[in-house]
Structure 1
């Protein structure tokens, strides 16, 4: 190979390496920028009460007084249990309704299919402020106000779940469905023995998204629940007042509220990675 050809090859490789290094540096800085507020929350919660307003990056000396104060002033454990119940049941309901609807759209052809699908898309585009008053009146008539069921029931169906699962099922090999039908399996058996095992990573990733959305919901529980300590997002208000916020216990309670979400991600992390890997496969 001539020297000129070598000279042409070396800059290309050098530019490729430089791009990778710069790309990793940019991603690393963005990751640190996203993680720093979470770190600062835990750092503030671990400071002594008199050091809450300190600007030092490392909290020292470490103290658990803020956590003890937060748990003494509010039923943190009870709120976490209620919030977990709301998030899990809401996510499961949305996964089931989304799976059933998406399976129907992908496996069968029927009249007004396109119109019904557009109706699902239309419900996703309707702002929550439009539907909250009819839902509130309906819950009042059913006697579900100030109950966890009143928070859960109106959110058991999610247009987002239907749209995402339908897109995955549209690319599902139709030959597998036909082979299962030829083996004598019914639609219900095909769904649970053929479709669901294949969609397990997708369902896990979507389930985390739906559960986190339900976990962080504030406005709807604030409308339905009259008790401020019903769920953790409402309970955090007890550390906020007109005269100022009690930042130490507030950060401690907020840190405890994030731990179940981290645990959920750690448990289902493998399925999330598989979902991203399989999304590029045909």
Structure 2
């Protein structure tokens, strides 16, 4: 009796050792993963930090390697604002980026829903044609677009920066694929309740695609914000130009004005960082809600 009772208890620690060692190994894997993520985050954030630090250095200390200037100054910011119409350029860039984002989302939503829900003769061929336009580089359509804008009398206007970006093949393909993966049972239930296509699209489908729409908005906005070549080709005056053209004005044949350039780059980066943080919350919230369902 004594042997039978004590034998299991004596063997119990031996059985628990593999589980404990597995927990320890798993804990070390988590720690190593967190350490790698922190190291990679520092590598990604350091250039932004160095841009900010360089913008605060005095002109005579611009090439210093110190992690923080001995006497921080906003002289570079004041010079950048005096040298170029920074406020007007930021406003122009924001207006163009917001307009392009809204228009591409609208055309992508409508076209994506049509490709995802309607089957008509030639739909596959039309979808392939849209996908092929994504592979055409800007240099191929640059001259035709420029001639079209010139004939419309839109040279050196903000409308000329928006018109060639009315539709995006990437937005159409992404939204069409997202709508194809949407549960058909939900759509059929809405149709049985008497809902039309417009009601299904705006009241049923889109509220459940907020994560996709937010991610797509971030990509379109950042891509438009960073565009340089097309505004350089069409704009003639700084007042009708965008911030990327303004940054290029600090790079001349005589040399690069690193202090004002870093100050202007910091001012140009702040709006896009704020918009990214706001939309990132929407993406995470949408993914968490979809996972809870």
Q: Report what 2:271 is aligned to.
A: 260
Superposed displacement of residue 59, structure 1 = 2.3
**1:199 is paired with a residue of what secondary structure?**
helix
Segment drifting more, 254-263 vs 130-139: 130-139
Instruction: Find the counterpart in structure 2 of residue 78 from structure 1.
Output: 88
Deviation at 1:171? Answer: 1.2
For normalisation by structure 1, the TM-score amounts to 0.94
Residue segments in structure 1 that go unaligned for 5+ positions in a row: none
Pairing 1:66–2:79 present = no
Displacement after TM superposition at 1:179 (Å): 2.2
In the TM superposition, residue 110 of structure 1 has moved relative to its aligned partner by 1.4
Structure 1 residue 178 corresponds to structure 2 residue 188:
yes
1:91–1:156 contact (8 Å) kept in structure 2: no
Is 2:46 the counterpart of 1:46? no
Q: Does 1:251 align with 2:262?
A: yes
Task: Indicate yes or no: 2:247 matched with 1:236.
Answer: yes
Aligned equivalents of 1:47 and 1:279: distance in 2? Answer: 47
Superposed displacement of residue 274, structure 1: 2.9
Give how far 1:13 is off: 2.1
Give the deviation of 1:199 after TM superposition: 1.6
Count of residues in Structure 1 that have an aligned counterpart in Structure 2? 282
Alignment partner of 1:111 out of 121, 124, 127? 121
Instruction: Please tell me whether Structure 1 or Structure 2 has the larger radius of gyration of its CA atoms.
Output: 2
1:194 aligns with 2:187: no
Q: Is the 8 A contact 2:89 2:238 kept in 1?
A: no
Q: Distance in 2 between matches of 1:277 and 1:161?
A: 23
Once the 2 structures are TM-superposed, how far is the Cα of residue 279 of structure 1 from its aligned partner? 7.1
Structure 1: how far apart are the matches of 2:19 and 2:218?
A: 46
| TM-score normalised by length of structure 2 | 0.90
